[in-house]
A and B are shown apart, each in its own frame.
Chain A
């Protein structure tokens, strides 16, 4: 079974530029998550999708971050314009999704973003 795929793996941009990350979840997984992991900290949830609908985006800085999951499969996360403090690893995770049980989240390798 293929895991969660993310691209690019690394990205370096200057502040005020824009950047986009792509995630392809495990086939059949209805729930998709984006996390931000700043160096030395644990991952922080940015947004959660159930199929192509948003379940939780309470911690997404909506003035500069946006995310979409068209057709309920792949997802993109965009930052525009980037700030220095956005330097982090962006993790995508997916799970089968169920209202009856807490199911395991499977994480991708992450995209390491450096903003200079």
Chain B
């Protein structure tokens, strides 16, 4: 079956630090890959996506590249801000139906 593994949190960084949150996946066929974000007190929202190998998704300074050879979709940002503090979920869709399979989430804390 499909599964997503992402790094355990919480991840605590100082403002302007470089961010990487690792995500690897197992899937049948050729999945589409997503990062969702949940800010404090808000609902889940799509951050970025990539639908085929070597695609790069980007939004709000965040980037992730679909690496089929390593089955990975790591999230990166060059300079984080306090407002980036949230829980980040890696997810995929594969296998016909388009319900999302999520990782467990990574809690990111940015300190000023």
Contact = CB atoms under 8 A, between A and B. Distances in A.
B97 A102 contact: no
Interface stretch (B13-21, B39-47, B65-73, B78-86): B39-47
Interface string B46-61: 1001010000000000
A33 B42 CA distance: 18
Q: Give the 8 A-B residue pairs with the shortest CB-CB distance, closest first.
A: A42-B102, A45-B99, A107-B44, A56-B97, A102-B32, A107-B43, A109-B43, A48-B99
23 contacts: A4-B43, A31-B98, A35-B100, A41-B105, A42-B89, A43-B44, A43-B100, A48-B98, A48-B99, A55-B97, A56-B97, A56-B99, A91-B43, A91-B44, A95-B98, A102-B49, A102-B51, A102-B93, A104-B46, A104-B49, A105-B46, A107-B43, A108-B43
